Each structure stands twice: as structure tokens, then as C-alpha cells.
Structure 1
Amino acid sequence: MKSLFAVLFAASLTNEKVPVSTAFNDKEVLSTFTSVKAAPQQDQQATNILNAVTTTTKSRKTIALNFTFNVKNGDMEEVQKGDLKIKNNKYWYTIFGTTKISDGKSIAEVITEDKEVSISSANFNDPDEFSPQEMFTIYEKGYKYRHMGQKKENEVTLDMIDLYPNADNMQPYRRITLFINAATHEIKKIELFHKTSAKVFSVTVDKAIYDTEIDDSTFECECERWPEDKGWDCDDQRNSK
């Protein structure tokens, strides 16, 4: 699943405004995806909504989420629950039986069932390295976009915005759809449509708590946190050549 998380949790920690010039251009998208219908060259409505999302996200001191990760492939479906905590450039999340922790400088991967931990230096310039912050700013770089209308879900009005990768954005997805709470400007759901298969990946925010106190110890990446005398095997790779 690494390619998915590389998209969702990539290494962009910026919260810049979305420039109008990056809005959806139907001719450019049609040249890559011939099935896309015509749309305005610049979708100002989508730009305004995404800028509001950026402003809202930037204002959060901390984010704590419970989320559902879903994979559909024809009649097959897989569902996993996960948890995520973010504080500045630090993060902690758990899914698929693995916990990933970063203090902004190092990354610890924890497999609780096997009591195994590996710690490495963070390299957020590496496209295969991922940071959950990108879940909230995935649209800022490398995409054209357009507003697809609104829908109601559980009495909540959601704006739907489709993202299409630029020609130089080598992602394995032909389209990404964001579902954004129209009242709070928060991303409720992300859907990713695979380029070469029928697979559709989605991440849905089930519960979100903002600006709560999260102790920095949550993000510590030192082997002392997983002591050997408690049965843990901790491999610190930060000083290895």
C-alpha cells in the first residue's frame, strides 16, 4: 500500500494559498484523459474552496482523527480503521497493524505484534517518504481541479472537487476526488481512482478533534521508548552508513 500513502501522506508541509493559475484547464486534462468532459479553463469556485481549506488547516495547532481506509476492486472490498495525530511537523498514525511516528527529524516504524521497531532519519524530500500533513494539502501542487457540485451526506453539505494530475505528476491515479464540508472547510473524504485498474481507494474522516493538547512524548523516536528488557527489538538506523 506504500504507493497510496506516498500520495496521501507525501512530504509537503507547506500551507501556501492555491494560485488561481493552477485551476482546472479542460484542454490540458482532455489531452491526457480523453473521457473527461469539458469544463471552464479556470475554476474560480474550486480555487476559493481550496484556499479556505488551506486557511482552516493552517489554523489548527493539533489534529486528532479516527479514519476509515477502504479499497474497492469490483465486487471485492477491504476496510481498515486507523488513527492519526498531528502537531506541527510531528505525526503519529496507526493502520494495518503498524504505527508510524515522527518527531519531525526521525521516523519510527513500530510493529506491535512482533515487538519490532526501526528508526531512521526523516527525508521529506524523498517522494517515497510520506507525512500525513499532505492528506490536507494534497491539492496544492501538481494538479488541475474543478468543482463538481455538492451532495448531502448525514445532513452535512459536501463540496466535491476533482483533481487531475499534471503531465509531470507521476502518480498512479487518474483522478482524486475531495469531499469538503461546505460549512467548516474541512476535508471529510478523499477518493483515489487508479490509472490502470478498477481499484478505488478512499480515506474517510470518522471523527476529528482539533486544537487539543497532545504531549510531545507521543512523537518521541528513541529506542528507550521500546526497552529490550520488555521484549522489544529496536533497530536505530540513523547512524548507519
Structure 2
Amino acid sequence: MIELIGVSKSYNGSVQAVKTMDLTVPKGEIFGFLGHNGAGKTTTIKMMTGIIRPDTGQVRINGKDMREEPLEAKKQFGYVPDSPDLFLRLKGLEYLNFMADMYEVEPEVRKKRIVKLAERFEMTDALGDTIHSYSHGMRQKIIIMGVLVHEPEVWILDEPMTGLDPKSSFTLKEMMREHADNGRTVFFSTHVLEVAEKLCDRVAIINKGEILFCGTFAEMQQHFQSDASLEKLFLELTSHE
């Protein structure tokens, strides 16, 4: 579960990136976080993951307060950032072992998980190569694999499908659904509204640091008294703002 309670963030003392925000994402749910560039999505995610501190409010991951118990809170989730250009000098397998070390995954357990993840993402033959030599899509896949190697309860994914080929994108969506169906939490931001419409149990639309709508797609259609697509409703809602 993810809980944001009265969270806000300003930059330079004047630019309010996220206004006072309350948001709860329960277990067993795929939650989509939607907004234009600069709407406040990444700032919210960085507060959620402890990368930056909110000016006000609380962030709790599975009941662990990010300010009071930062290490315990961070053990609860896996985070895929919006850029996969990390640890480029490491080989793929070295990176996965590094991530497993960080989360104290036992050698025999990690070995099985790495084999399984590499098979699902078709990365088995590339694990001996440096990440610098990978394509953008391969870098995205190795980052996702590193996040999942400790099997976190909560997934926080910032544009996770950017650069993925169609098969890998399908695999990730399949894994997200499996994770939520097993009573766990998936939070992800995306610009691909067709994916959000088909995959998410609920969505939130953020604009200028404020959540304009939070609920199911059916509830959004009912609110607008329209059977339009999520994309059209999103554009209508944000254009009014």
C-alpha cells in the first residue's frame, strides 16, 4: 500500500510542483498516474521513493513512514526511474548481483530469480555484456530486472515501457497484472493512455501539481456522462485547467 497524506513540494520557494496531495493506493491494484510533462508526476514519485523530501505531509509505504523509517520504507518497494542510463560500466549480471546484494537476497534464491527474469525478458545471452553496449530497450529491461530481483511488495514504475519492444512491453504488463492479482501494489506513470485504459484498476490525473480526478475509468465516463476513450477524457479534463 502507498499513502500520501498532505504532501506538497515547492522549488526555489515559489514554484509549487505538487500542491497539498492526499492519495491512497491499496494492495491488489494497478494504479495509473497520468499527466502532461511538468504536471508533477515525477516530483510526486521522487517524494514517494524518498529521493526528495516533501515540504509538508507524510509518505507511507506498507505502513512504514518514509521520514521516520526510511530504510524500512525503501525495502518495501522497487523503483524503475524514467531513465535507464545507470551503472553503464557494469555487466548485466554484475548489476543484477549488485541489486541483489543491496536487498540481501540469498545467492541460491537470486540465481533462480535472475534466470527466470532473464528468460521472461529474453536477456539470457546479454547478461555477460556491459550495460553501456545495450540498446535503450535492453537497458530498460535490465533496470526492471534489477528492481524485481528482490521481489518487492510495491512496484513504483516511472514510464516503464519507454523503449521496450512490443513483446517485452506485453511481458511487463502481464507481470504487473500477476503482481496485483497476488495482492500486491503496482503504481506507474505513463503517457500511453491506451495502455492505462486497458491495464489500470484506477487512475489519477494530475495537472499543475493537483489531482483533478482519481477513480476507475468507468467512474470517469460516468462523471463526464460520456463513453469516450480515456485519451479524450484526459484531454478534455486537462484542457479546462
Q: Under TM normalisation by the shorter chain, which class is it? A: under 0.3
Q: TM (normalized to structure 1)?
A: 0.25
Higher relative contact order (CA 8 A, sep 6+): 2
TM-score, with structure 2 as normaliser: 0.25
- Which structure has the highest strand share of the two? 1
Q: Which is richer in helix?
A: 2
